[in-house]
Structure 1
Amino acid sequence: MVDKSALLQGFSRHVEKGDIVGNVLIHRALLSQLERDAREGLISGEIALDEIDKLKEFSEKYLFSLQVVGNAGGNPDEEIRRYCAERGCIIVTADDMQKRVCEFMNIGYVFIEPLQDSFSLDKFFDENTMSVHLKEDSIPKAKKGRPGSWQFVNLSEIPITSMEIKRIASEIISDIKYIKNSFIEIERKGSTIVQLGNYRVVITRPPLSDGWEITVTKPVTRKSLEEYGLSDKLIERLRERAEGILIAGSPGMGKTTFAQALAEYYMKLGKIVKTIESPRDMHLPPDITQYSKNYAEVGELHDILLLSRPDYTVYDEMRNDEDFRLYIDLRLAGIGMIGVVHATTPIDAIHRFLSRVDLGTIPGILDTVIFISNGEVDKVFSLEMTVRVPLGMREADLARPVVEVKDFLTDSVEYEIYVFGEQTMIVPVSKTKTNSVEQKITRAINIAIPDADVKYENGEYVVTIPKTEISKYNRRVTTKLKKLEKKHNIRIRIRLGE
C-alpha cells in the first residue's frame, strides 16, 4: 500500500524500473484527501493523483493489480497503518516519520530512495543563468547575465507540453526530501513555492494562472561588502551609526545580494544577526539564523527576536502593512534593522513608511537608505530631523519639524519632508533652482557690495556682509532683495560678517 509521500516521490518510476513488484493498494482515505487537495488548488494533490493515473496505466502494461481499499475518512496515514497492521500488507513510503512509526508498530514497510537518474535543476543552469522560465505550450527560456545586465535566451526550439511541465513539477516536489536545505515554503490554491537547495522554485497552475508555469531562480553572484567598493565614510557609518537601514531598488537589481553581504559583514564584526524572509532566499553561514514568516505568526517572530536579542535583523522583501509594522516595532525596541523593499527611486522607499508612522519618528526608524541599481550602490540617503521654516515658506511662524533627506556623501539636502495642514509633503530641493536664485541674489548684492557672500542654509538664503562694507547696504539694495523674495517666494536674511 502506498502513502502520499511515495506518490510524490515518483513511485511509478520504481515500478517501471522493476525495483518494486506486486499488487498495489490505494486507501480510500488517501484518495479522499488527494481529491480535497486538488479541488483546493494544491499542486501536491494533483501531482499525486497523476501518479495514481500512471499506476493504473502500468497495471495493465505490467500485469499487476491496482485496488482501492478501506473506508474514506480519518487521517490517511493512520488509516493506512491500521489497514496494513490488520491484513499484513506492506506500506511503501518516502516519509521518515511514517517509517519510524511502522518500525515501532512492527508493520512491514519499504522505504523508497530517489532514483539515480532523478531530476536535477542543474541541467537548466550554467554559471551565467539567473533564472529559468517554463510554461506549458511555450518555449523554455532562461535569463542570463547579472543584475541590471541580462538577456532572455531560448533553451529549446520546441514548446514544453503540459505533461512535461507536470513531470518536472512532480520531480521537484519529490526531490525535496533528499536535497539538503529543501522544503515547501508556501502552498496555496494554485501556487507552490519551494526552496530546493540553492534554487527557489515557484510553481503555478490554473485557475491562478492560465497554464502550468515553473520559475526557478538561483543566485548568480555572492559578493562580500568589500567588493562593492564603498567609500570609507559609508563603511564607517555602517559600522558605527547605522541601525535603521533600508535597502531599496527595482526587482532583479541585486538588493538581496547586498543585504546578504551586509549580514555577513555584521556577523564578522561579532554581531548577532538574524533574518526574516518569505520565502527564505538568502544563502548565509550557519551562524546567522534564518526565520521564515510563513511558518510563524508576526507576534511569535516579534517575541522570538526580542527574547533572543539580536544586534541586527535583516527583513527581506517587505511588502505589506504587517511587514512594515514588525520592522517599525522591532526598530523602536532598539534592534538594528535592515529592511529590503522594492522601489524605483530611493525617495519612493522612504515614502512607503510615511503612511505607517508619525513623521517625527522617521529618522529614528530610518537613518540610512541605500539604493541598489545594476548590482551596485547607486545612492545613499541619510535622514535628520530639524525645526525650521521649510523651503518656499517665508513667515517665521510657519516653522515646523522638517525631516531633511540628504545625499550622504555630499551632505546636501535633496528632499524635505514635513506636515502641511493634514498632509505629509515630500518636497524636492532643486539644486538648479537653488543655484539660479543664489546667482541672482549674488548679482544684486555684489553690485554694491562685491565681498558679500550668499549661501543657502536651513531653508533660507543668508547674505553675509563684511563689517567694513555694511555702510554700502542701502535702500536700493534692500529693494532689490525684497523683489527677489517676492518673485521666488523665498526668505533672505542679512548677517554681519567679520
Structure 2
Amino acid sequence: MLDKSSLLNGVSRYLEKNVIYGNILIHKSLVRELEEESRDGMVSGDIALEEINKVKEMSERLLIGFDIVGDGTKESDVALREFCQSKGCTVVTSDDLQRKMCDLMKVQCILLQPLPEDRISIETYFDENTMSVHLKEDSKPKAKRGKPGEWEFVELSSDPLTKADMKRIVSDVVNSVRFVKGSFIEIERKGSMIIQLGNYRIVVTRPPLSDGWEMTITRPVARRSMDDYSLDQRLLDKFRDHAEGIVIAGSPGMGKTTFAQALAEYYMRLGKIVKTIESPRDMHLPPDITQYSKNYAEIGELHDILLLSRPDYTVYDEMRNDEDFKLYTDLRLAGIGMIGVVHATSPIDAIHRFVSRVDLGTIPNILDTVVFIRNGTVEKVYSLEMIVKVPSGLREADLARPVVEIKDFLSDKAEYEMYVFGEQTMIVPVKSASGKGGDSMESRLNRIVENIIPDASVKYEEGEYVVNIPKEQIGKFNRKLTSRLRKLEKKHNIKIRIRLSE
C-alpha cells in the first residue's frame, strides 16, 4: 500500500525498475485527502494524484493488480497502517517517521532508498554564471546570467514548456528533496510551494494563484567575504567597534543578501555569536551560525528565543511588515546587535521605513548605520546622530529642537536632517534647504565674494553661510556686494553672516 510520501518520491520509477513489485493498493482516505488538497491549490496534492495515475497505467502495462481499498473516514496515514495491520499487506513509504510507526505497530514496511541515477534535473539549466532560471507554462525557459547589477536575460530553449513539462519538472524537484542533503519543503500554501534543494531556492506557483504553472529557481553565483568589497578601513573599524543597528538596503537583485552573509561571517570570525531570522531561509552560512525560519515560529517565540540565547548579532533578512520592524526594534533596544535587510531604491528610503514606526528620539539608538548596495558594491553609507539645533533653512533661534543628522559616513557631511515640525516628522535634504544645494550655493557665493575680496572665503556652518573676511580687507566690502548677498538670501531662503577673521 502506497502512502503520500512514496507518491511524491516517484514510486512509479521503483516499479519500472522492479525495485518493488506486487499488487498496488491505494487507501480511499489518501485519495480523499489528495483530492481536497488539489482542489485547494496545494501543489503536492496535484503531484501525488498525477503519480497515482502513472502507477495505475504502469500496473496495466506490467500486468499487476491495482485497487483502491478501505473507506475515507480516517486520516490517511493512520487508516493505511490499520488496514495493512488487519490484512497483512506492506506499507511503501519514503517517510522515516512512517517507517517507525509501522515498526511500532508490527506492520510490514518498505522504506524507499534513492535510486543510483537520482540527480537534480534542474541542474541542466544552470552554468557557472547563471543567477536564476525562470520556467513557465507556455513560455520559453529563460535565465539570468552574470552577477548582481551586471546580468543579461537569455533564452535557454526555443521550445515553450507545456503544462505537462512543468508538472514533470516540479515532480522531479519534489522527488529530489529526500536524497539531496540540506533539502526540505519550507512552505506549502494554496497555489504555491517554496523549496530549499541544496543550494537552490525554488518557488513554485500554480493556478488559480498564477495564470499557469511557474517555477523560479535561484542560486548564489558567488560567495563573497568582506575583503572582496574593498571597504574603507574607517567603515571596517565602525563595523568592528560600534555599529550595532545596521540596515542593508538596495533594490531587488543588487546583492543585499550576499553582503549580509559576508557581514554575518565577518562577525563570526571576530568571535561573535551570530544568528539569523529569515522568511524563508535564503542564506548560505557556516554551521556555527544558527538560522531561524519565521514561518515556523511566532514573533513572540523568536523574541524569547533570541533574548534567552543572547546572540551578539542577529541578521534579519527581508524585513517587510510592521511585525518585522517591531521585532528588530525590540531586540535592538534590548542590547542585541541587529543587521536588517530591506528593499529600498535609495538609502534614505530605508530610514523612511522606520520613521512611521518608531519615535524620532529612539531612531539613532535603533539605527546607527545604513549601507546601500548597488550592483553588488557598497555605494553609500549613512550614519545617524542626534543633536539640538535650529534645522537647516530655519532662522529663528527659538526654533531649536532635537534634530537627527543623517551624514555621509566617509565625508562626515550632513545630507539630510530629520526633525518634528508641528505634528509631522520631516526628513529634509540639507542641500535643498539651502536653495540650489549646499555645495553649489557655497561655490556660487565664493565666486561672488572672491571677485571683490580675493582672500575671503565662504563656508556652510550650522544652517547658514559664513563669509570670512580678513580684517585688513574689510574696506572692500561695498554696497554692491551687500546688495547681491541680500538678494540671494531672499531668493533662496538662506542665511548669510559676515565674520571678520585674523
Tell me how far apart the structure 1 counterparts of residues 132 and 447 of structure 2 sit (CA, whole Å): 58
Corresponding residue number in structure 2 for 1:425: 426
Aligned to 1:95: 95
- CA deviation vs aligned residue, 1:237-280 (integer Å, no higher than 9, x gap): 11111111111111111111111000000000000000011111
Distance 1:170 1:186 in 2: 16
User: Offset at 1:123?
Assistant: 2.1
C-alpha distance after superposition, 1:207-261 (max 9, x if no partner): 0111111111110000110011001111111111111111111111111111100
Pair 1:280-2:281 in alignment: yes
Aligned twin of 2:291: 290
Partner residue, 1:175: 176
SS at match of 2:175: helix
**2:363 — aligned with what?**
362
Residue 235 of structure 2 is aligned to residue 240 of structure 1 = no
- What residue is the counterpart of 1:434 in the other structure? 438
Residue 454 of structure 1: how far off its partner (Å)? 2.1
SS at match of 1:116: coil
Q: How many residues align?
A: 498
1:433: Cα distance to partner? Answer: 2.8
Structure 1 equivalent of residue 61 of structure 2 = 61
Tell me which residue corresponds to 1:28: 28
Q: CA deviation at 1:483?
A: 3.8
- Name 2:457's counterpart in structure 1: 453
TM-score by length of 2: 0.94
Mapped partners of 2:437, 2:258: distance in 1: 37
Structure 1, unmatched stretches of 5+, are none
CA distance in 2, matches of 1:283, 1:445: 58
- What's the CA shift string for 1:173-200, capped at 9, x where partnerless? 1221221111111111100000011100
Using a 3 Å threshold, how does the CA distance of structure 1 residues 93 and 434 change in structure 2: closer, same or farther? Answer: same
Q: Secondary structure at the match of 1:81?
A: helix
Could you list the per-position Cα deviations for residues 289-342 of structure 1 after superposition, in whole angstroms to 9, with x for gaps in the alignment? 000011111111111111111111011111111111111111111111111111
Tell me the alpha carbon deviations over residues 71-113 of structure 1, each in whole angstroms, 9 at most, x when there is no partner. 2122211111111111100000000011111122221111111
Aligned partner of 1:206 in structure 2 is 207
Deviation at 1:469, TM superposition (A): 5.8
Farther-moved stretch of structure 1 (419-428 vs 249-258): 419-428
Residues 290-439 of structure 1: matches in 2 within 5 Å? 290-430=291-431, 433-439=437-443
Tell me the alpha carbon deviations over residues 147-176 of structure 1, each in whole angstroms, 9 at most, x when there is no partner. 111112222222112112111111211221
The equivalent of 1:487 in structure 2 is: 491
Give unpaired runs (5+ residues) of structure 2. none
Matched-pair identity in %: 66
**Matched letter for residue 380 of structure 2:** K
Instruction: Report the Cα distance in structure 1 between the residues aligned to 2:191 and 2:13, rounded to whole angstroms.
Output: 26
Report the secondary structure of 1:454's partner residue: strand
Amino acid at match of 1:200: R
Query: Where does 1:108-147 land on structure 2 (aligned, <5 Å)?
Result: 108-120=108-120, 121-147=122-148
Output one character per residue of 1:443-464: Cα deviation in whole Å (capped at 9) or x when no partner.
Answer: 6655776544321112122234
Calculate the aligned-residue CA RMSD, in Å.
2.0
- Contact 1:6–1:93 at 8 Å: present in 2 too? yes
CA separation in 1, counterparts of 2:24 and 2:248? 54
Q: Distance in 2 between matches of 1:116 and 1:462?
A: 79
| Match for residue 463 of structure 1 among 467, 486, 499 | 467
Amino acid at match of 2:39: R
Measure the CA separation in 2 of the matches of 1:232 and 1:70: 71
Separation of aligned partners in 2, 1:172 and 1:35: 21
Instruction: Identify if the C-alpha distance between structure 1 residues 92 and 439 changes in structure 2 by more than 3 Å, giving closer, same or farther.
Output: closer
Residue 400 of structure 1, CA deviation:
2.1
| Rounded Cα–Cα distance in structure 2 between residues aligned with 1:443 and 1:256 | 46
Of 205-214 and 157-166, more deviation after overlay is shown by 157-166
Could you tell me how far 1:415 is from its partner in structure 2?
1.5
Which sits farther off after the overlay, 462-471 or 415-424?
A: 462-471
- Aligned partners of 2:261 and 2:174: how far apart in 1? 27
In the alignment, the residues of structure 2 paired with residue 446 and residue 217 of structure 1 have an alpha-carbon distance, to the nearest angstrom, of 59
Q: Is 257-266 or 385-394 further displaced after alignment?
A: 385-394
When normalised by structure 1's length, the TM-score is 0.95
The structural deviation recorded for 1:440 is 5.0
Query: C-alpha distance in 1, partners of 2:334/2:479?
Result: 57
Retained in 2: the 8 A contact 1:278–1:293? yes
- By how many angstroms is 1:494 displaced? 4.0
When residues 111 and 444 of structure 1 are mapped into structure 2, their CA distance, relative to the original with a 3 A threshold, is closer
1:132 is displaced (CA, Å) by 1.0
- State the AA in 2 paired with 1:98: Q
Distance 1:435 1:225 in 2: 32
* Alignment deviations for residues 52-79 of structure 1 (CA, whole Å, 9 cap, x no partner): 1112212222222221111212221111
Supply the AA of the counterpart residue of 1:82.
E
Give the aligned residue type for 2:80: I
Question: What amino acid maps onto 1:485 in structure 2?
Answer: E
Query: Take 1:449 and 1:50, find their aligned partners in 2: how far apart are those partners?
Result: 87
Which SS does the other structure have where 1:215 is aligned?
strand
2-side partners of 1:58 and 1:51: how far apart?
A: 10
Is 1:6 matched with 2:6?
yes
Answer whether contact 1:118 1:171 (CA < 8 A) is retained: no
Superposed, which structure 2 residues align to 1:158-197 within 5 Å? 158-197=159-198
Matched residue of 2:437: which SS?
Answer: helix
Amino acid across the alignment from 1:302: H
The CA distance in 2 between the partners of 1:265 and 1:91, in whole Å, is: 49
Indicate conservation of the 8 Å contact 1:29/1:72, yes or no: yes
Task: Tell me the distance in 2 between the aligned counterparts of 1:488 and 1:72.
Answer: 79
- Structure 1 SS opposite 2:178: helix
Cα distance change of structure 1 residues 454 and 185 upon mapping to structure 2, 3 Å threshold:
same
Q: Which stretch shifts more, 284-293 or 69-78?
A: 69-78
Kindly state the Cα deviation for residue 43 of structure 1 after the two structures are TM-superposed: 0.5
Code of the residue aligned with 1:192 in structure 2: it is M
Indicate if the aligned counterparts of 1:32 and 1:73 stay in contact, CA closer than 8 A: no
Q: Does 1:251 align with 2:255?
A: no
